[in-house]
Amino acid sequence: MEHKNHGSTLHNHGTHNHANMKNEINVLVNYEGNLLTIDLKDQNGSAPELEVSHEKILHLAIASSDLEQYYHLHPVDKGDGVFQLEISLKEDLYKVFVDISPINLGYQIKPIDLHVGHAHQQGQVDLQPDTSFQKTIDNITVELQIDSLVVNKPTTLTYQISGGKPEPYLGALGHVVIIDRDIEQFIHVHPVSDDKTVFHTQFNEPGMYKVWGEFKFGEDVHVFPFVIQVK
């Protein structure tokens, strides 16, 4: 099941952060005729062996240059390090984050530029922090509570949900993806336990961030975006 929001790797609970890890994987991204292709190779030109993380060996996040469009996708493994999926993207400059866990190889998640059409410059990212942290989608109401927005200090994000009960999705009760205004930092967080929509993370740089909370209700995955400011 794929989902997107308009208007918008570690393996256990917590934050996926590979910032200090040596990168031993080459990632190529190509988009042609609505077909998105990811090609992974190690330094010897071979396909890396990937560990399953939350039911998938590859998680793909795509954000438009203005952070208005967000996609969390799972391309199909075609073999030999190649993953593909069909998706219709409007003309824009996108940032692609390939979230994988290679076995016995270092990997660091970095943004990859994806030019669709004639877009070659990043759009204006005009993020303003939300004054209300409550949103309702399809009669599901989510209220985000954050205990601290101070750089280099642990932060707890608690989602209070009413109007429906979230179900396990990709091995967790929810997923949170956080991207900074410059679309350079990528944080992927899972709940602290199997029965609470509570997430722990930490921000290493001050600034504006967009936060997408993903929760499954029935057959649908709802994405709740918020903008926060870390000082």
Domains in the chain and their CATH numbers?
A: 3-116 (2.60.40.10), 134-230 (2.60.40.10)
pLDDT in tens, the chain (231 residues): 344 433 322 222 333 444 556 888 999 999 998 999 999 999 999 999 999 988 889 999 999 989 999 999 999 999 999 999 999 999 989 999 999 999 999 999 999 999 998 766 666 678 899 999 999 999 999 999 999 999 999 999 999 999 999 999 888 899 999 999 999 999 999 999 988 999 999 999 999 999 999 999 998 999 999 999 999
Q: Most distant CA pair in the chain: distance in Å?
A: 52
d(CA 205, CA 186): 12
Flag whether the pTM goes above 0.85: no
Q: List the one residue out of 79, 71, 54 whose CA is nearest residue 168.
A: 54
Q: List the one residue out of 52, 12, 54 whose CA is nearest residue 192.
A: 12
